[in-house]
């Protein structure tokens, strides 16, 4: 015990700045309409359940301003966590406006960086995703084993989970949001989830 004490303390000190950045990281507890102004009647789109978002700290009329940096493809109607059509964070039917790529950002052909800014119900933002993930795991454990044994999340990539869900999601007969929640959990545990963690870290660090 004595031997690991100082090392643990050093680890906590080293984690200091990252923890401060994570103070603005939030998780959507349900898919939520996003509005360009707190009192706007018609939403511009929807941010999906379990998406990581950056809370700017502004709250008006029970709505919180959020910023969701990510990527969009040539259609510009969805915001993805990485420059790949595998993890959808938001859907914006009216279209997203990309920003120019920074010098150190490699934008694959057809992809552009984008930052969605808007207002969502403040009550739908959680600072800790633990409850969400345990609800997701319960759904997965009970609903994804009705026809075959559990598929281990880490045996598939985020893109494979996106593909499989077109068929497997509806097979659970769960409401759409529960299907999205299971999908998000599987993707956060996929074999290439490190790319998603890197995206979450960027969202937390946004200012």
Question: Residue 115 CB, nearest distance to ligand HEC (Å)?
Answer: 31
Sign of the four-CA dihedral 77, 188, 174, 65: negative
Question: Residue 182 CB, nearest distance to ligand HEC (Å)?
Answer: 5
Structure tokens at 164: 């499989």
Measured from the CB atom, the residue of 133 and 164 that comes closer to ligand HEC is 164
Binding mask 118-157 for ligand HEC (x = CB under 6 A): -------------------------xx-xxx--x------
Largest CA distance in the chain: 60
Q: Which stretch binds ligand HEC (CB under 6 A): 2-10, 19-27, 41-49, 169-177?
A: 169-177
Binding residue (CB under 6 A) for ligand HEC from 3, 8, 106, 167: 167
Q: Which stretch binds ligand HEC (CB under 6 A): 102-110, 120-128, 130-138, 166-174?
A: 166-174
Cα 104 vs. chain centroid, distance in angstroms?
23
Measured from the CB atom, the residue of 55 and 182 that comes closer to ligand HEC is 182
Torsion, Cα 187 188 189 194, to 10 degrees, reads: 110
Residues 6+ apart with CB under 8 A from 50: 27, 28, 129, 132, 136, 180, 181, 184, 185, 188
Question: Residue 41 CB, nearest distance to ligand HEC (Å)?
Answer: 35
What is the helix (H) or strand (E) element at residue 69, kind and residue range? strand 63-72
């Amino acid at each position: 015990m004595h031997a690991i004490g100082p090392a643990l303390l050093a680890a906590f000190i080293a984690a200091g700045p990252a923890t401060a950045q994570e103070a603005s990281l939030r998780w959507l507890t349900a898919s939520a309409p996003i509005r360009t102004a707190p009192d706007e009647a018609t939403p511009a789109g929807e941010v999906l359940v379990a998406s990581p978002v950056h809370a700017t700290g502004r709250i008006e009329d029970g709505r919180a301003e959020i910023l969701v940096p990510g990527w969009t493809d040539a259609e510009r109607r969805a915001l993805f966590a990485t420059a790949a059509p595998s993890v959808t964070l938001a859907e914006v039917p009216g279209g997203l406006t990309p920003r120019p790529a920074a010098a150190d950002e490699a934008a694959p052909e057809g992809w552009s960086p984008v930052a969605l800014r808007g207002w969502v119900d403040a009550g739908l933002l959680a600072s800790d995703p633990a409850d969400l993930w345990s609800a997701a795991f319960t759904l997965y454990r009970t609903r994804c084993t009705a026809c075959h044994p559990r598929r281990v999340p880490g045996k598939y990539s985020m893109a494979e989970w996106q593909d499989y869900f077109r068929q497997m999601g509806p097979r659970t007969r769960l409401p759409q949001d529960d299907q999205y929640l299971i999908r998000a959990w599987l993707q956060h545990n996929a074999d290439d989830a490190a790319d998603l963690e890197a995206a979450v870290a960027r969202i937390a660090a946004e200012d």
